[in-house]
A and B are shown apart, each in its own frame.
Chain A
C-alpha cells in the first residue's frame, strides 16, 4: 500500500473532495481519509444545495464567486450533471426592520461588485408570484446565485479526483497527526501510518478532534439545523427565498425549488441546538410548515417527503478558518465552514491548491488574512499545549 503522499486531506465532504480534485490536478499525490463509508456522508448530504456569493464578507464573496464559476461550468467542463441551476436568491422583507437590514447590507454587497438589487413589492411579486403579498415590502434579488445537488457535486469531485490519481480511504479514522521537528510529517489512522508534509483538516463538524492530536484547539463547535424536502411538482419557483424574521424558537428560514421539482427547506433554530445529535425531532416540521405557508400560501398543498438534521461546524465569529497554521508548518486549516461548506468548497479547494503551489494571488492573500486562524488575538486557535 502507498505510504507516502504529498498531502493528506481529512474528510471527503464538501471541502475535502473539491480540494482533493484540484490538488490532484496540480500533480500532487493526494490521500483522503474518511471515517464514513463513502464521500459526502457527513454534512455534505445534509446541505440543501444553495450557492450564493451574496455574503457581506469579502473573503466569502471571493471564495463563493470562484465556486459559482466552477459549479456553473461543471457540466460543460467535466460532463456530469450536478443539477446546477442559476435561480438566484431573494431575501424578502415583511417588516421595516428587515427591510433596513437588507438595504444596509445591499450597499456593502454592491460595493464588492455583486449583482444584487432591491426589488419593490410589485417587482418581487413578478419574480416570485406565489409570495404572500400581504405586508410584503420588497426584497433583494441576486440573479447570479443558484443551487446544485450537494450529493452529485461531491460525487463528481470524488470521481474526477480518482481520475487524477487521488486515493480515498473510506472507513478509516485519522487518529493522530505526526510531527517531526515541529512540522507535519505524517498521520496515523486506525489502519496505518502515512508520511506526508501536509495535512489539510477538512473534517467539518469533527475537525476539533484531529487538531487536538497535536495540541491545536480549533474553535469549531457543531450545532444542528433541520431540513426537509418535498415531493416534486412542476416548476413554480426560481430563487431561494430567505426570510430573516425571527420566529418562535427559530431565526431565519429559507427554501427553494430544486431543478428536480422538489422544494428543499431549512430553518435556523434559536437558540442553537449544540452538539452532534442528528436525530429528527417532532418540533421542526410544524414549526417550519407554519412559517412557509405564511410566506407562500400555496405551499400548503405541497407534501413533505423527508426531513433530516445536519451539522453546522460553527466558529465563534461565524466565519471559516482557512490557511496554514503558523505554529505547525504543514498543517492547513480548512475548518469551520459554518454551514456554508458546500458553496465555499470549490473556492476553498482552489485557494488551498494555489497555496500549496505558491501561486497565491493578491485576492487570495486578502482572503487568507481575513480567514486566518490567528485572527483573534490571544484566541484559542494558536494556543498550543505543551
Chain B
C-alpha cells in the first residue's frame, strides 16, 4: 500500500477499508471501493499483462472502460481492471497472451431481455448530461440517465481546481468536485429523472433501441423518443517509439487514478501537451505529491489558459515549447523520455535531444468527441442530440450550458411549451467555449502605497469571479464579454481596497496577489497557494523562494503567516514579507527544485521501431504508411490487411491516428474512405446478452 495518497490538499482522505487480494499468488492489500487497476497501482504494479501478438507489456491506457489495454484475469475471467471493482480474496493474474475461457457446465436461468420506454435517454452523467437532465426534470419529462461510472459527475469528479467562467453562469470559483455534487443534488430532486450508475450504453440499433448494461450485469433495451448523447470526450493519442509502454497513458486516465482513487500513480511524471488538460494534470500531480519533470508542447506557445501554464512555471516545472517527444524508454514499463526541439516543419532538430528519467508519460494532446452513439442514431434516423464534449470539445463550464440548452431543445421537440431558448444562454455558452485570446503582458501598478491586488492574469479568457466577489466593486471586466482581462478601478470607484483577500481566494488561476505597503518596512505579499497538505506545506518563518509571473526566481523571503479557513476552501493564503523592489512582481512560490527536472548526461535513442497506431492489435505506423504509399485509400482495406481497428476498443484510438497519417502523406481526406463503425461500442458477454444475471 505504498502508493496511496494519505494526504491531499484538496480531496478528503478515503476511508481506510483494507481488502485482501492476490496478485500472481502474492497476497496484497487494496482498498474497498477501488477498481482492480487502482488496487494494483496502489501496490506499485503498473504492468498488467503481455500482448498475444508480440508479448509487448500492457497496462493502463484510458482508465475509462473504453479500451481493453488494462485487461487482467480476475477470478478466472478476463476483465478490464479500470472498471471492475476489487473484491475480497480476489485472485488477479496478468494476461499472458490470449486468456483461457473458463469452464462451465451449468447454465443459470436465462431471462428475457427487458424493454424500457422513456421520453429521453441521456447517455452520460457529466456536466452536460446532468444539466440537461435538470432542465428535463424541471419540466417533469420522463428521463433516463445512464452513466458507466459508480458516481455521477463525469470528469468533474476529477477536477480539484476552481472553475473559470462566471459565478452566475457556471459556478466559477467553485471546484469541479463540488460542482459535481451540486449538480447531482439538484438532479436527484426531480422524480421524473431516473438515474442508473454503473450502466454502460453499448450500442444504438436501427430499430431505435439502445442497448444498456444496467449495473454492468443486466442487458436492457431502451427505446427513447429522443436520445441525448452527453458521453463526453476521449483522449487523443500520439505515435512515438515506446508509445504503448505501460506508464504512457492519457492525462485523464491519470487524473482518474490520482483524484478519484487517491492513488499516487507515478513518482516522476513527464507530460506531453500544453493544453488545459496537460497543464491541469501536471498541477494535480504536484498536489498528489508527484514530481513533474517537465512538459513538452509542440507549438511555440501552450494552447491552454496562460494562467494554468504560469501556475506550473511558478511552481518550478520546466515547459518546453516547440518540442516533441521522440520516445518513451524502458523495457517492461517507462523508465524515461527523450524529447527534442522541432523546426517549423515539425521535424526534430538533431542535437537538441534530451532524456529525462521518469516513470510515467502523460499524453495530453487534445480530446475527441465520443460520437459513435450520436452518429449511429443519426444514421438510423432517430431523434438525437449531442451535448457537451460529445458535441464539441470545450470547457466543462460550456458543457453545462450546452446541456441546459439541449435539455430545453429536447423539451421543445417533445411538444412542451417552453418557448425560445434564452439568447443569453446561447451567448454565454459561446463565450465559455472560446479559446484563450490575446495576452497583453503583465501590468504592474505604479503606486507603492496602501494595499491593492496585483493581477498576474494578462490573457483574455472567459472568467470573471474576481469582479463579482470584490465587495467594493474595484475589479472590472465588461459584463457583456467576460473574456477581457480584469482592471483595477479603485480610482474610478474612489474606494480604497481593504485587503479582504476574497479576490485572491476565488481566482481559479491563482493569479492575483495582494501587496500591502501599509506597515513600515518591507511590504507584505499574500499569495494563494493550494498545498495545505502533503509534501509542500509551508509554515510561519519558513523561507520560501518567490518567483515572478513566469517562474523567474526573485529571491528567498520569510513566511509571515499562513491562513486557511472554511471560506478559503482548502486554499492557503500565504503571506510573505518581501523587498519593495520586487514585492509587486511576486506571483507565486517555488516548490520543485531544479534537480527534479534535470536531464540525463546522454540522451537515450530508443532502437526498437515500436511506433504503434492500433494498440489493441499492435499495428505499427510503418505498416499503415506502407499501405497508404501503395495506394490504399480505403481505411477498411487497411483494417482488413493489418487488423488496425479490429480490436476491443473499436478503432477509438487508431482511427484519428490513421486519418492523420493520410494527411501527413499529403492525401486529402476527400480521397479517403473512413472506417465503417459497427456495434458493439463496448464488449458485452454472451451470457449477459442471453439474459444471465451474473452476481445477482
Residues of chain A having any CB pair with chain B under 8 Å: 37-41, 45, 130, 132-133, 151-152, 154-155, 170, 230-236, 261, 277, 279-283, 285-286, 289-290, 292-294, 297-308
A39's nearest neighbour on chain B, judged by CB, is B637
Out of A40, A234, A293, name the residue touching B100 (CB < 8 Å): A234
Residues of A within 8 A of B690 (CB): 286, 289-290, 292-293, 300
24 pairs across A/B with beta carbons < 8 Å?
Answer: A39-B637, A132-B107, A152-B640, A152-B641, A155-B641, A170-B634, A231-B78, A234-B101, A279-B206, A280-B206, A280-B678, A285-B680, A286-B219, A293-B686, A293-B692, A298-B101, A298-B102, A298-B105, A300-B104, A300-B692, A303-B78, A304-B686, A305-B648, A305-B683
Residues of A within 8 A of B207 (CB): 281-283
Residues of A within 8 A of B650 (CB): 305-306
Q: Verify B689–A297 contact, CB threshold 8 A.
A: no
Residues of A within 8 A of B105 (CB): 133, 297-298
Task: Provide the main secondary structure of the chain A interface.
Answer: mixed
Interface residue B595 (Cβ < 8 Å from any Cβ of A):
no
Interface residue B393 (Cβ < 8 Å from any Cβ of A):
no
Q: Determine how close the nearest CB of chain A comes to the CB of B70; give it in whole angstroms.
A: 14
Given contacts A40-B640, A45-B640, A280 and B101 within 8 Å (CB-CB): no
CA distance in complex: A187, B679 (Å) = 38
A133's nearest neighbour on chain B, judged by CB, is B105
CA distance in complex: A130, B219 (Å) = 25
Residues of A within 8 A of B102 (CB): 298, 301
Interface centre among B77, B678, B691, by most chain A C-beta atoms within 10 angstroms, is B678
Residues of A within 8 A of B206 (CB): 277, 279-281
Q: Determine how close the nearest CB of chain B comes to the CB of A128; give it in whole angstroms.
A: 13
Q: Verify B634–A38 contact, CB threshold 8 A.
A: yes
CA distance in complex: A300, B110 (Å) = 11
Q: Determine how close the nearest CB of chain A comes to the CB of B381; give it in whole angstroms.
A: 10
Please, what's the 1-or-0 string for B93-114, where 1 marks a CB less than 8 Å from any CB in chain A?
0000111111111110010010
Q: Verify B637–A38 contact, CB threshold 8 A.
A: yes
Contacts A154-B640, A286-B690 supplied; 11 other A-B pairs, CB < 8 Å: A151-B640, A234-B98, A277-B206, A279-B379, A280-B203, A283-B207, A285-B211, A297-B106, A301-B101, A302-B101, A306-B650
**Which residues between 675 and 696 of chain B lie within 8 Å of chain A, taking CB atoms?**
678-680, 683-687, 689-692
Closest 9 A/B residue pairs (Cβ): A300-B687, A279-B206, A38-B634, A151-B640, A289-B689, A282-B205, A289-B690, A303-B683, A38-B637
Given contacts A231-B648, A290-B110, A290-B691, A45 and B101 within 8 Å (CB-CB): no
Residues of B within 8 A of A282 (CB): 203, 205, 207, 209, 211, 221
A293's nearest neighbour on chain B, judged by CB, is B690
CA distance in complex: A300, B692 (Å) = 8
Given contacts A304-B689, A306-B678, A233 and B636 within 8 Å (CB-CB): no
Q: Determine how close the nearest CB of chain A comes to the CB of B65; give it in whole angstroms.
A: 13
Interface residue B140 (Cβ < 8 Å from any Cβ of A):
no
Please count the residue pairs between chain A and chain B whose beta carbons lie under 8 angstroms apart in the complex: 151
A302's nearest neighbour on chain B, judged by CB, is B686
Please, what's the 1-or-0 string for B665-681, where 1 marks a CB less than 8 Å from any CB in chain A?
00000000100001110
Please, what's the 1-or-0 string for B623-638, where 1 marks a CB less than 8 Å from any CB in chain A?
0000000001110110
Interface residue B346 (Cβ < 8 Å from any Cβ of A):
no
* Size bracket of the B interface: 35 or more
CA distance in complex: A261, B379 (Å) = 32
Interface residue B582 (Cβ < 8 Å from any Cβ of A):
no
Interface centre among B211, B632, B641, B650, by most chain A C-beta atoms within 10 angstroms, is B641
CA distance in complex: A41, B679 (Å) = 18
Out of A37, A236, A306, name the residue touching B679 (CB < 8 Å): A306
Residues of B within 8 A of A45 (CB): 636, 640
Q: Verify A38–B633 contact, CB threshold 8 A.
A: yes
Please, what's the 1-or-0 string for B129-149, where 1 marks a CB less than 8 Å from any CB in chain A?
000000000000000000000
Interface centre among A38, A290, A299, A303, by most chain B C-beta atoms within 10 angstroms, is A303
CA distance in complex: A308, B203 (Å) = 12
Given contacts A232-B52, A282-B209, A304-B689, A155 and B637 within 8 Å (CB-CB): yes
Residues of A within 8 A of B684 (CB): 285, 303-304
Q: Verify A41–B106 contact, CB threshold 8 A.
A: no
B687's nearest neighbour on chain A, judged by CB, is A300
Residues of B within 8 A of A277 (CB): 206
Q: Verify A37–B683 contact, CB threshold 8 A.
A: no
CA distance in complex: A41, B675 (Å) = 11
Interface residue B380 (Cβ < 8 Å from any Cβ of A):
yes
Residues of A within 8 A of B673 (CB): 37-38
B106's nearest neighbour on chain A, judged by CB, is A297
Given contacts A303-B683, A306-B680, A233 and B110 within 8 Å (CB-CB): no
Q: Verify A41–B636 contact, CB threshold 8 A.
A: yes
Q: Verify A305–B107 contact, CB threshold 8 A.
A: no
Interface centre among B103, B636, B690, B691, by most chain A C-beta atoms within 10 angstroms, is B690
Q: Determine how close the nearest CB of chain B comes to the CB of A120; give it in whole angstroms.
A: 19
Residues of A within 8 A of B221 (CB): 282
A152's nearest neighbour on chain B, judged by CB, is B640
Q: Determine how close the nearest CB of chain A comes to the CB of B644; give it in whole angstroms.
A: 12
CA distance in complex: A347, B275 (Å) = 58
Q: Verify A281–B77 contact, CB threshold 8 A.
A: no
CA distance in complex: A294, B636 (Å) = 34
Residues of B within 8 A of A299 (CB): 101, 686-687
Residues of A within 8 A of B78 (CB): 231, 233, 303
Out of B110, B113, B685, name the residue touching A304 (CB < 8 Å): B685
B206's nearest neighbour on chain A, judged by CB, is A279
Residues of B within 8 A of A133 (CB): 105
Residues of B within 8 A of A308 (CB): 678
Q: Determine how close the nearest CB of chain A comes to the CB of B41; give it in whole angstroms.
A: 24
Residues of A within 8 A of B97 (CB): 234
Q: Determine how close the nearest CB of chain B comes to the CB of A234; give it in whole angstroms.
A: 4
Q: Determine how close the nearest CB of chain B comes to the CB of A352; give it in whole angstroms.
A: 24
CA distance in complex: A233, B633 (Å) = 32
CA distance in complex: A303, B99 (Å) = 12
CA distance in complex: A155, B630 (Å) = 13
Q: Verify A234–B686 contact, CB threshold 8 A.
A: no
Q: Determine how close the nearest CB of chain B comes to the CB of A259; give it in whole angstroms.
A: 11
B639's nearest neighbour on chain A, judged by CB, is A151
A257's nearest neighbour on chain B, judged by CB, is B101
Given contacts A37-B634, A299-B686, A301-B104, A233 and B98 within 8 Å (CB-CB): yes
CA distance in complex: A283, B648 (Å) = 22
Given contacts A298-B104, A301-B104, A285 and B689 within 8 Å (CB-CB): yes
Q: Determine how close the nearest CB of chain A comes to the CB of B208; give it in whole angstroms.
A: 8
Residues of A within 8 A of B209 (CB): 282
CA distance in complex: A38, B679 (Å) = 22
**Which residues between 425 and 468 of chain B lie within 8 Å of chain A, taking CB atoms?**
none
Q: Verify B686–A289 contact, CB threshold 8 A.
A: yes
Q: Verify B687–A301 contact, CB threshold 8 A.
A: yes
Residues of A within 8 A of B106 (CB): 297
CA distance in complex: A292, B634 (Å) = 34
**Which residues between 187 and 224 of chain B lie within 8 Å of chain A, taking CB atoms?**
203, 205-207, 209, 211, 219, 221
CA distance in complex: A130, B104 (Å) = 8
A305's nearest neighbour on chain B, judged by CB, is B683
Q: Verify B100–A281 contact, CB threshold 8 A.
A: no
Out of A283, A285, A294, A301, name the residue touching B77 (CB < 8 Å): A301
Given contacts A236-B100, A280-B679, A286 and B689 within 8 Å (CB-CB): yes
Q: Determine how close the nearest CB of chain B comes to the CB of A166; give it in whole angstroms.
A: 15
Q: Verify B679–A307 contact, CB threshold 8 A.
A: yes
Q: Verify A305–B680 contact, CB threshold 8 A.
A: yes
CA distance in complex: A233, B99 (Å) = 5
CA distance in complex: A235, B203 (Å) = 28
Residues of B within 8 A of A293 (CB): 107, 110, 686-687, 690, 692
Residues of B within 8 A of A236 (CB): 100-101
Residues of B within 8 A of A154 (CB): 640
Q: Verify A41–B634 contact, CB threshold 8 A.
A: yes
Q: Verify B686–A307 contact, CB threshold 8 A.
A: no
CA distance in complex: A304, B221 (Å) = 16
B685's nearest neighbour on chain A, judged by CB, is A303
